[in-house]
A = this chain, B = another copy of it.
Amino acid sequence: MSASATLSDLPATEAGAGTAVEATPSFSPLYRQIKALLVRGLQEGEWLPGQAIPSELVLAARFRVSQGTVRKAIDEMATDNLLVRRQGKGTFVASHAEQATQYRFLRLQPDDGSATPLQRRLLDCRRMRAPAEVARLLDLKAGEPAVQVRRLLLAPAEAAAAPRPVVLDDLWLPGTLFKGLTAERLAAWRGPLYRLFEAEFAVQTIGAEEKIRAVAASAEEAALLEVAPGAPLLSVERLTHTYGERPVELRRGLYHTAAHHYRNVLS
């Protein structure tokens, strides 16, 4: 309903099979155009995470296509993790802010199968002008404002022992996207960071790309992670993006992999 203004600008489509669609320079099938329109709706916040989008029949009527065509568009978006289908209930905008204990993109696992969640400890949060390298990766102009965050993730304590640090994260965020983000706000937040992004700043993280290396711990890093200086650490540089591949976060994690490993599935 509120969408019709935006979404009804689909090229007129007569009934019949193999419908030719003009106005698109590079031909793409109807269901892909519908997918594109739906993605645009998500980008523009027409439907928010967790909310239901209109039913397949309603969308089919709106776009003047068959239910099967809408279905194929939604199918692709579901496999893209943009939508979630729930039989009998509807189709919902994927929210990556649910799985309470789950870290969204963290592939680190304990060597024993235990599933005890990691604790967070905020070390630093400050606004600054983005360094050249950071600005380049985040698609910012040189000197634009950025937020830098440093934090630790710790494995819960055994018995009376102190929790052991496992991950040291350094984050840079575009300052314009995260306007009201302060150390106090961060410290008060309980839950995954990406949930904060979505709930407070309407920044939805869709995917990421990581570059992984083995590095030797510097003196400072070693102290924070409680390892010997020069100890081997996993360096994970992550560029997180939202709809349309727009980068929204640069994160450099140092993982202590003595009792954990990074798990990856290839196909």
| Inter-chain contact B261/A207, CB cutoff 8 Å | no
Q: Is A24 interfacial (CB 8 A cutoff)?
A: no
List 10 A-B pairs, minimum CB-CB distance, nearest first. A232-B232, A214-B232, A212-B262, A214-B214, A213-B257, A211-B261, A207-B267, A208-B266, A214-B234, A210-B264
Interface residues on A, range: 20 to 34
Question: B211, B214, B231, B257: which contacts A263 (Cβ < 8 A)?
Answer: B211
| Inter-chain contact B80/A210, CB cutoff 8 Å | no
Instruction: Fill in one digit per residue for A230-267: 1 if any B CB lies within 8 Å of its CB, else 0.
Output: 11111100100000000000000001010001111111
Cα distance, A152 to B190, chains bound together (Å): 47
Which of A80, A105, A209, A214 has the most chain B CB atoms inside 10 A of its CB? Answer: A214
Q: Which B-chain residue is minimally distant from A237 (CB atoms)?
A: B261
Which of A209, A235, A264 has the most chain B CB atoms inside 10 A of its CB? Answer: A264
Q: How many copies does the complex hold?
A: 2
Q: A232-B232, A232-B233, A233-B232 are in contact. Are A212 and B264 (CB under 8 A)?
A: yes
Cα distance, A81 to B266, chains bound together (Å): 11
Residues of B within 8 A of A215 (CB): 214, 232, 257
Q: Which B-chain residue is minimally distant from A234 (CB atoms)?
A: B214
| Inter-chain contact A257/B214, CB cutoff 8 Å | yes
Residues of B within 8 A of A262 (CB): 211-213
Residues of B within 8 A of A267 (CB): 80-81, 206-208
Residues of B within 8 A of A264 (CB): 107, 209-210, 212, 264
Cα distance, A255 to B207, chains bound together (Å): 26
| Inter-chain contact B266/A209, CB cutoff 8 Å | yes
Question: B79, B209, B212, B216: which contacts A212 (Cβ < 8 A)?
Answer: B212
Q: Which B-chain residue is minimally distant from A212 (CB atoms)?
A: B262
Residues of B within 8 A of A232 (CB): 214-216, 232-233
Cα distance, A12 to B231, chains bound together (Å): 64
| Inter-chain contact B216/A261, CB cutoff 8 Å | no
| Inter-chain contact B210/A263, CB cutoff 8 Å | yes
Residues of B within 8 A of A107 (CB): 264, 266
Within 8 A of B (CB), among A126-183: none
